[in-house]
């Protein structure tokens, strides 16, 4: 009987694996026309100065409204876009759309962050695309930060280093996203021309109750500061976390406490009144 049950479980497992593979194929196929059919859009999440909670910049985050399934999270479709190579044209669209939007907001101090995947950075046309978008939109390069994940620093270091240098020649800022989740060594951080560290939100969990966690985050912040990097702490959801991160001398913060990712018109309203960013009903609503 145990053997029969085992077989049953195996069949169920195989069925599930098969369903998942089919789903990935279908999503990949749908994603191929998503751009042309206007199903992709960008939401923008505020990044604030922890000193006074005023708006420092925004991070552009991709949204996909699937015609049948509704909104699909980037955590699900970005890996598919990377595997199929679709991330290259989609990523170019993100960069161009976000830079055009930044120009439209007409606030010369506002900063913009755009996520770039490993696959995009490896594309031979990437640096030229960034240069082209900057030229087209007239955005000062120092206002654009490209967010890259840490994993990138470890594998084929030389090529990545070359790309980073070429981007630095353009004058854009480079950030390491989700810092602390990968396996990058300190030596990489020193060797690469990086401007910003974004400390992953997993470090914020329980940080206000647990002195050891707080010391760990403090250590990361101090290390980043000693390398003269700007520090952004992600995933701030509670006032006590914002206060602690400020106390531990992180300059910038991002998280639901301040605002969810929102449509561009909400950012325009924030810019208009110039007040500290505080999650009111409109900013709490997800986009
Ligand atoms: P990320 O770049 O680390 O972006 C931050 C993610 O954390 C966003 O999820 C944001 O909504 C979420 N977040 C922000 N504050 C909080 C908070 O206080 N609590 C919690 N629980 N979450 C918070 P989102 O928009 O679902 O994006 C997920 C990931 O997908 C991004 O992580 C990024 O790696 C990727 N992604 C999104 N847009 C793009 C894109 O245009 N290009 C590329 N290559 N990747 C993208
Ligand atoms: Mg990011
Ligand atoms: Mg991040
Ligand atoms: Mg993250």
Interface confidence, given as ipTM, is 0.98
Index of the ligand 1 atom closest to the CA of residue 237: 18
Per residue in 111-146, pLDDT tens? 999 999 989 999 999 999 999 999 999 999 999 999
The 3-state secondary structure of 145-180, one letter per residue: EEEEECHHHHCCHHHHHHHHHHHHHHCCEEEEEEEC
Considering only CA atoms, which residue is closest to atom 21 of ligand 1?
235
pLDDT digits (tens, 9 = 90+) for 199-224: 999 999 999 999 999 999 999 999 99
- From ligand 2's centre to the CA of 230, what distance in Å? 15
Q: Which atom of ligand 1 is nearest to the CA of 74?
A: 30
Please say whether the beta carbons of 208 and 244 come within 8 A.
yes
pLDDT, tens digit, 9 for 90 and up, residues 84-110: 999 999 999 999 999 999 999 999 999
Note the pLDDT of residue 166.
Answer: 96
pLDDT at 36: 92
Is residue 246 pLDDT above 90, yes or no? yes
* Residue located via tokens 């520090």: 231
Q: In which band, very low, low, confident or very high, does the pLDDT at 279 lie, cut at 50, 70 and 90?
A: confident
Is the model's pLDDT at 41 over the cut of 90? Answer: yes
Are 208 and 238 a contacting pair, CB within 8 Å?
yes
- Name the β-bridge partners of 149: 177
Residue 154's pLDDT is: 65
The yes-or-no verdict on residue 187 having pLDDT over 80 is no
CA 178 – ligand 4 centroid, Å: 5
Averaged pLDDT of the chain: 92
- Kindly list the protein residues whose Cβ atom lies closer than 6 A to any atom of ligand 1: 45, 61-62, 73-75, 78, 91, 94, 115-117, 147, 177-178, 201, 235-237, 254-256, 261
């Amino acid at each position: 009987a145990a053997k029969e049950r085992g077989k049953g479980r195996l069949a169920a497992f195989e069925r599930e694996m098969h369903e998942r593979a089919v789903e990935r194929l279908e999503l990949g196929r749908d994603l191929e026309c998503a751009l042309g059919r206007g199903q992709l859009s960008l939401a923008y999440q505020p990044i604030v100065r922890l000193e006074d909670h005023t708006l420092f910049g925004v991070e552009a985050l991709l949204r996909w409204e699937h015609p049948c399934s509704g909104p699909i999270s980037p955590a699900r479709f970005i890996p598919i876009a990377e595997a199929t190579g679709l991330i290259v044209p989609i990523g170019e669209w993100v960069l161009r759309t976000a830079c055009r939007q930044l120009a439209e907001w007409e606030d010369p101090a506002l900063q913009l962050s755009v996520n770039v995947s490993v696959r995009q950075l490896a594309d031979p046309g990437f640096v030229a695309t960034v240069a082209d978008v900057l030229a087209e939109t007239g955005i000062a390069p120092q206002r654009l930060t490209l967010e890259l994940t840490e994993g990138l620093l470890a594998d084929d270091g030389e090529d990545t280093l070359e790309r980073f240098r070429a981007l630095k020649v353009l004058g854009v800022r480079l950030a390491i996203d989700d810092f602390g989740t990968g396996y990058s060594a300190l030596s990489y951080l020193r060797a690469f021309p990086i401007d910003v560290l974004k400390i992953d939100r997993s470090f914020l969990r329980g940080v206000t109750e647990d002195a050891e966690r707080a010391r760990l985050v403090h250590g990361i912040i101090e290390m980043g500061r000693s390398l003269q990097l700007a520090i952004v702490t992600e995933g701030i959801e509670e006032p006590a976390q914002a206060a602690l991160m400020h106390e531990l001398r992180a300059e910038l913060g991002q998280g639901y406490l301040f605002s969810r990712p929102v449509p561009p018109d909400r950012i325009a309203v924030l810019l208009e009144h110039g007040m500290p960013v505080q999650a009111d009903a409109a900013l709490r609503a997800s986009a």
